[in-house]
Chain A
Amino acid sequence: MTARVTGKRWRDQAAVAVVAAVLGVLVVIQLRTQQADPGLSALSAQDLTVLIANLNTRNGQLREEVATLSRELSTLSASQARGQSSVDQIRRDLAKVRAWSGLDPVAGRGVRILVSGPIDGPGVEELLNELRNAGAEAISVGGVRLVAGTVVAGSTGSIGVETTLLADPFEVVAIGSPEVLTGSLTRAGGVISLLAATHPQVHVVVTPADGLQVPATIRSLAPSHGAPRL
Chain B
Amino acid sequence: MTGLRARLRAVQTWQITLGLALLVLGFLIAAQLASERPRVRYTTQERSPLVDAVRELQAQQEDLKSAILGLRQEIQDGEGQGEGSALLVRQLNDQLQQARLAAGLVALTGPGVVFRLEDGTSGSSGSRGESIVTAKDVRTLVEELWLAGAEAVAVNNERVLAGTAFLDIGGSVLVNSAYLAPPYTVTAIGPANLYARVSASRGFVELYRVRTQKGGIVLTYAERDGLRVPAFAGTVNLSAGHPVPSATPSGPASDAPAGTP
Contact = CB atoms under 8 A, between A and B. Distances in A.
Interface of A: 12-13, 15-16, 19-20, 22-23, 26-27, 29-30, 33-34, 37-45, 47-52, 54-59, 61-66, 68-70, 72-73, 76-77, 79-80, 83-87, 89-91, 93-110, 122, 125, 129-130, 132-133, 136-140, 143-151, 153, 175-178, 213-218, 220-230
A84 to B, nearest CB: 7
A225 B190 contact: yes
Contacts of B203: 153
Interface in B226-259: 228-229, 234-246, 249-250, 252-254, 256-259
Q: Per DSSP, are chain A's interface residues mostly helix, strand or loop, or mixed?
A: helix
Contact of A66 (B41, B68, B108, B160): B68
Interface string B96-124: 10111111111111111000000000000
Interface of B: 12, 14, 17-18, 21-22, 24-25, 28-29, 31-32, 35-36, 39-42, 44, 46-47, 50-51, 53-55, 57-58, 60-61, 64-65, 67-68, 71-72, 74-75, 78-79, 81-85, 88-89, 92-93, 95-96, 98-112, 139-140, 143, 146-147, 150-153, 160-167, 169-172, 174, 176-182, 189-192, 203, 228-229, 234-246, 249-250, 252-254, 256-261
Contacts of A225: 110-112, 151, 189-192
Contacts of B229: 226
Contacts of A109: 240-241
**9 shortest interchain CB distances as A-B pairs:** A85-B84, A86-B82, A39-B181, A108-B241, A99-B243, A101-B103, A221-B102, A226-B110, A226-B108
A221 B254 contact: yes
Contacts, number: 389
30 contacts: A33-B35, A33-B36, A41-B39, A41-B42, A41-B51, A42-B40, A42-B170, A55-B58, A62-B234, A65-B234, A69-B71, A69-B72, A72-B75, A87-B92, A93-B79, A94-B99, A94-B250, A105-B257, A108-B242, A109-B240, A110-B240, A132-B164, A140-B261, A145-B261, A148-B160, A149-B146, A176-B241, A225-B191, A227-B110, A229-B228
A200 B13 CA distance: 73
Q: Pick from A22, A56, A87, A133 the residue with the most CB of B within 10 Å.
A: A87
A51 B171 CA distance: 12
A155 to B, nearest CB: 9
Given A96-B243, A137-B239, A45 B57 contact: no
A228 B240 contact: no
B229 to A, nearest CB: 7
Contacts of A54: 167, 169, 174, 177, 179
A137 B42 contact: no
A148 B189 CA distance: 13
Contacts of B89: 85-87, 90
A77 B72 CA distance: 14
B228 A107 contact: no
Contact of B243 (A104, A133, A221): A104
A33 B31 CA distance: 10
Given A19-B22, A223-B108, A59 B64 contact: yes
A84 B170 contact: no
A43 to B, nearest CB: 4
A96 B244 CA distance: 10
Given A23-B25, A39-B181, A40-B54, A80 B139 contact: no
A110 B242 CA distance: 12
Contacts of B261: 140, 143-145, 215-216, 218
Contacts of A76: 75, 78-79, 82
Given A26-B28, A33-B35, A228 B259 contact: no
Contacts of B41: 41-42
B84 A84 contact: yes
Nearest to B183: A38
